[in-house]
Amino acid sequence: MPRRHRLSALVLAHVLVGLLAGVFVGVLVDAARPAPAAAHDATTKAHATVTGTGPDVRAVLDLEYDLLMKSAWLYAEAYDAKERTEQLRQLKINHDAVIDYVTRRFAVTYDDAPCTPTPAGDADVRERAKVAFAVVTLDYDCAGEGPGQHAISSALFPDAESFVHSTETLVGYRLDGTTGSAVLTAASPTLRIGERRAAHQVGEFFLLGAEHLLSGLDHIFFLLALLIGARRLRDVIVTASAFTVAHSITFLLAAMGVVDVPAAIVEPVIAVSIIVVAVANLLGRGEERAGRWRLPVVFAFGLVHGLGFASALDIDESGSWGLLLSLLSFNVGIEVTQLVIIAVLFPLLTLLRRTSAARWVTVAMSAPIVAVSLYWCVDRVTLPF
């Protein structure tokens, strides 16, 4: 290789290794911060299920617990609560403040007339990916008779509150004889049932899938570890195809409630999958030997990653088959983003392998992946005591 190209490749190697080192340090710094601050440096997703067979409807909202308590301007005693029993107690004590906040930020109308919300019992708490979410149920009394049109609006956790940014509200609905789903954002906060076309729904969930892959460092690390170990374009195509087929199967099954595996199992196994592939790169397995184990291992771990992708939507209510378009769009968003990452990184890694520093680059890139994944694995294991 000409000296100029060799120097360029070495510079590129240092850049890629530097980026991985930066991510490693970032994960460790993030781990050292208090949990609420670490969670709210970025964003959150609110979940809403709205159902009804006439004018009146019921909305079940899942909202990140500590963020909800902060947004309702409650004291640290409320939003710092960590045990479920104490969280339930705080929700009961602060019932009026919580309901006031939610009903000001989430609204339902019928033929453009506001529906009157009434809380249906006390709020509950459930866990999503090791984060506590408050479950608030509201019954909306909507004036009117006969066929009409509902509209759902969400302004939950806006940027102006400064706790999070770019909040998305994922809405699943069975209203006005229609079943579907939508993503409400600050730029598009209102859903009029029956007005959004299928193309709009496809675009929303395609972008949501792309965003989920890009924001999920564990999935990107797994993909990067696979690329580091691949030597030929054919290897990349076969490996990526196996991973795609596997996680597509479990994603669709889990998102529609056919398969239900607790996050306490899925998340540690995802971390283990990254460690296995990255350690294989460090051990420098021969290409022939690697070919025998890589495909079945990638397929098996792909099944687990699909369960992780499904947790981003958490659509598991009865009738989810009607949400198939949203699920497929979300999955396609993941696949296209994955292909873009491969198209960008594989040629660069191929260039680096042609230099004398090829082995050093493999070790320098794989070691941080193993270190971060080991931390994730330990952090995600729920200890029984």
Residue 350 in any domain: the answer is yes
Same domain membership, residue 221 and residue 169: no
Is there a single domain that holds both residue 181 and residue 49?
A: yes
pLDDT one-digit tens code per residue, 57-84 = 999 999 999 999 999 988 889 989 999 9
Q: What residue numbers bound the domain in which 120 lies? A: 45-196
Mean pLDDT (the chain, rounded)? 80
Chain segment 201-219, per-residue pLDDT in tens:
778 788 888 888 887 788 8
* Number of domains, the chain: 2
pLDDT band at 32 (very low <50, low <70, confident <90, very high): very low
**284 and 310 both lie in a single domain:** yes
- Same-domain pairing of 19 and 63: no
Q: Is residue 39 part of a domain?
A: no
Whole-Å CA distances, 383 to 28, 264, 268, 379: 20, 10, 12, 10
Residue 201 lies in a domain: no
User: Does 187 fall in a domain?
Assistant: yes
d(CA 293, CA 364): 23
Do residues 245 and 361 both lie within one domain? yes
The answer to whether residue 385 scores a pLDDT higher than 70 is: no
Q: Which of 133, 167, 196 is the last residue of a domain?
A: 196
Query: What predicted TM-score, i.e. pTM, was given to this entire model?
Result: 0.71
Average pLDDT over residues 239-249: 86
Indicate whether 202 belongs to any domain. Answer: no
In a shared domain, residues 268 and 125:
no
Are residues 78 and 25 located together in one domain of the fold? Answer: no
The torsion angles phi and psi of 106, rounded to 5 degrees, stand at -130, 125
Same-domain check for residues 257 and 360 = yes
Is 385 a domain residue? no
Say if residue 237 is in the same domain as residue 300. yes
Shared domain check, 250 and 133: no
Structure tokens at 147: 């066929």
| Dist CA 101 CA 236 (whole Å) | 50
